[in-house]
């Protein structure tokens, strides 16, 4: 059996970034063959990734990039905050951003093996939680906002109008977390479930039957739509206005948006 030396362990660690004990074990199992040990580490990293696949990833980072014609956003999750600051994790996140910016969100699949190898090195689940890229046309603006200092909430917006107004909208979306742009986007079954909940409230059931429908519709508007629908939310920059009113004054029309929040 070939003796595994400290120099061999150091060389393999430099090649793979794997922990020292994992590196030494792989060299022993590969009888000192560096390339075979490297392959073993890769395979074991893949196995580790499979074991950690169900672990939640509430930490991580959201990154954005804007240029004259497009905008890109990616959200990369980790299990703990220290890993989210790890140089290799950050390098992987930047690589995902570069790839999505160049080739679009579907290209993320090409980094799957690299993601699994990184899980094996770091010992935590790492997920690409989201990725989007928007391209702008005539009169359109793309804006991005990432909430500091943690950079765990980020928004990308595409709109018809000025970049300044689009950025204010991106900030609003980051804070207010709308799920839908307008009422028309809310699934009918979800509205029906909310309506049923309100109908069973004591303050509704105690009212005359002919008044209940109007009361429930009012509750839906104030408690459900005003919380979940962008157009009906209170504008964070001037809460007396709705977003719809503010955007009409700004001359801004929302085309699409993505919001990623790692801890939610």
Instruction: Encode pLDDT of 50-81 as tens digits.
Output: 455 667 899 999 999 999 899 999 999 999 99
Q: What is the pLDDT averaged over residues 240-249?
A: 97
- Best mean pLDDT range from 29-33, 196-200, 202-206: 196-200
Residue 243 and residue 221 share a domain: no
Task: Please indicate, yes or no, whether residues 124 and 253 belong to a single structural domain of this protein.
Answer: yes
| Per-residue model confidence (pLDDT) at position 47 | 45
pLDDT (0 to 100) of residue 147:
95
If asked whether residues 43 and 131 sit together in one domain, one would say no
More confident residue, 29 or 229: 229
- State the residue range of the domain holding 211: 187-228
254 and 159 assigned to the same domain = yes
The pair of structure tokens assigned to 157 is 């917006």
Residue 12 scores a pLDDT above 80: no
Would you give the end-to-end CA distance of the chain in angstroms? Answer: 52
Q: 252: which residues sit within 8 A by CB, 6+ positions away?
A: 159, 160, 161, 162, 165, 166, 169
pLDDT at 40: 73
Q: Who contacts 41 (Cβ-Cβ below 8 Å, separation ≥6)?
A: 12, 16, 18, 22, 23, 26, 120
Residue-level pLDDT at 19: 66
pLDDT at 213 over 90: no
| pLDDT tens readout for residues 131-148 | 999 999 999 999 999 999
Flag whether 1 is in a domain: no
pLDDT at 37: 78
Q: Do 141 and 203 belong together in one domain?
A: no
Please give the pLDDT value at position 146: 97
Residues 26 and 80 in one domain: no
Mean pLDDT, rounded, for 167-195: 95
Q: Supply φ then ψ for residue 261, to 5 degrees.
A: -135, 110
| pLDDT band of 45, cuts 50, 70, 90 | low
User: Is 95 in the same domain as 128?
Assistant: yes
Whether residue 134 sits in one domain with residue 94:
yes
3-state SS assignment for residue 58? coil
Cα 175 to Cα 85, 196, 223: the distances in Å are 24, 28, 17
- Whichever domain contains 126, its CATH number is 3.30.479.20
- The answer, yes or no, to whether residue 46 has pLDDT greater than 60, is no
Number of structural domains in the chain:
3
240-253: average pLDDT: 97
Q: Who contacts 26 (Cβ-Cβ below 8 Å, separation ≥6)?
A: 12, 18, 37, 38, 40, 41, 44
Put simply, whether the predicted model's pTM sits higher than 0.85 gets the answer no
Percent of the chain's residues with pLDDT above 70: 92
């Amino acid at each position: 059996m070939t003796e595994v030396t400290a120099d061999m362990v150091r060389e393999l660690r430099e090649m793979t970034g794997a922990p020292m004990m994992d590196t030494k074990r792989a060299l022993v199992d590969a009888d000192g063959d560096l390339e075979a040990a490297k392959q073993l580490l890769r395979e074991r990293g893949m196995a580790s990734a499979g074991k950690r696949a169900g672990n939640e990833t509430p930490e991580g980072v959201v990154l954005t990039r804007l240029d004259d014609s497009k905008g890109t956003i990616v959200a990369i999750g980790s299990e703990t905050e220290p890993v989210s600051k790890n140089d290799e994790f950050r390098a992987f996140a930047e690589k995902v951003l570069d790839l999505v910016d160049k080739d679009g969100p579907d290209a993320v699949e090409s980094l799957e093996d690299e993601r699994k190898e990184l899980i094996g090195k770091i010992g935590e689940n790492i997920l690409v939680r989201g990725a989007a890229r928007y391209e702008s046309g005539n009169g359109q603006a793309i804006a991005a906002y990432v909430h500091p200092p943690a950079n765990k909430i980020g928004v990308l917006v595409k709109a018809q109008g000025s970049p300044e107004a689009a950025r204010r909208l991106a900030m609003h979306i980051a804070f207010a977390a709308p799920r839908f742009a307008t009422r028309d986007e809310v699934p009918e079954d979800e509205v029906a479930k909310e309506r049923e909940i309100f109908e069973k409230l004591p303050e509704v059931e105690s009212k005359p039957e002919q008044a209940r429908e109007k009361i429930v519709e009012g509750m839906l508007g104030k408690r459900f739509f005003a919380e979940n629908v962008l157009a009906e939310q209170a504008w964070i920059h001037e809460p007396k206005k709705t977003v719809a009113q503010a955007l009409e004054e700004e001359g801004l029309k929302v085309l699409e948006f993505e919001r990623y929040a790692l801890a939610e």
